[in-house]
Structure 1
Amino acid sequence: MMPKQNKWFLGIILNLVFLMAISRVSAQEISLLSEPELMKKPVYSNLMQAFREYDRVYRMSLKGSGGYYGKVTAVHPDIDSLRNLQYFYVVNEGLKDLPNSFGALRFMQHLYLSGNQFEAIPDTLYSLRHLKRLDLQKNQLKAVSDKIGQLVELEFLYLNDNPDLDYLPLEPLAKLKKLRYLNVKGTKISREQMAALQARLPMAQIEY
């Protein structure tokens, strides 16, 4: 028979092995994918299926059934259960806001929201610290918050064709040292503002 002390020690070892295994699984399940890796993942378009297979969902595209009343006008508040989600595409729909839970998708990298009805960038998006691409062209944006400077990984920002947008916070935007491309065509942003930003971000391509 195994002495009690040995059994106790073996129990501790087994518990440690189990915890290490869980940690490895978690690390594998939740990790940032490169863009080529991400593009190989299937695109989920059915929310119920996505919630059933939550740990496999890296890319999602939502589309309404057509017509005014068939547009996507809201995102499910339990979207944060899709913890691996890194690519989200809802274009030419009727979104005006996003649930606060969206900000818990901490590995989100690519966000396509063009052609919706946003009047401001939802505050919850400023929690997405790994966000690389934010497409909000053809919305109804009127202003951009100073919090834009929190998106330090941002590389591509599309704000074009928001005809009421007349101001961008210069200093916060200048903190986005990884920004490679900014488009503000079709807005009221002045050339002077953009020239000043270009001077602070000489490596970025800015279209205005």
Structure 2
Amino acid sequence: MKLTRQAIKDVILIEPAVHGDERGYFFESFRKDKLEDTLGHEVSFTQDNESLSSRGVLRGLHYQLPPYAQSKLVRVISGEVIDVAVDIRLGSPTFGQHVKARLSGENKHQLFVPRGFAHGFIVLSEQAIFAYKVDNGYAPEHDCGIHFNDAALGIDWQLDNAEISTSGKDAEQPMLLTRQQTAPDTLFEYGKNYYA
């Protein structure tokens, strides 16, 4: 299992060692010790989630505020997605920047998205089964988001807008600058330990 810090070092790409032959394959999909060694702190996942989505479905950009902030460890069981993590920590040198990874049932890559980041993905295949671990359950009163098509974020979702399907809720999320200017308390603070 190879763990690599990305351009924003708090986001980690995980590439498992897949052992296969004519009978099929085997790989370790999660190693708490290796992840925590790379992170330098503990992460206690408490829930696994799974979704099925069709081509062009975009889910995001989502996050939860403290005390229900979430880390996510995301992967694709079948199909292919573009997965995105956006730094929403006020004062961060990479505030508003993002990390993007192609996750698929074929490459079996995973992305660790830490607290303090908004997360989203778009389906490129005809369908995709998306699975992820979280370290806090869903808390609707702490649920927030950023508009997926915020031009300031510069995310290339790799599909035309006409092909993108999103929820009404996601379509109405504010731009990051709007949140920063009107509701900074709905963002995170750079340098604050949200794992303490």
TM-score (norm 2): 0.29
Q: Which has the higher helix share?
A: 1
Q: Tell me: higher relative CO, structure 1 or 2? Use CA pairs within 8 A at least 6 residues apart.
A: 2
Rg larger in structure: 1
Higher strand share: 2
Question: TM-score scaled to structure 1, two decimals?
Answer: 0.28
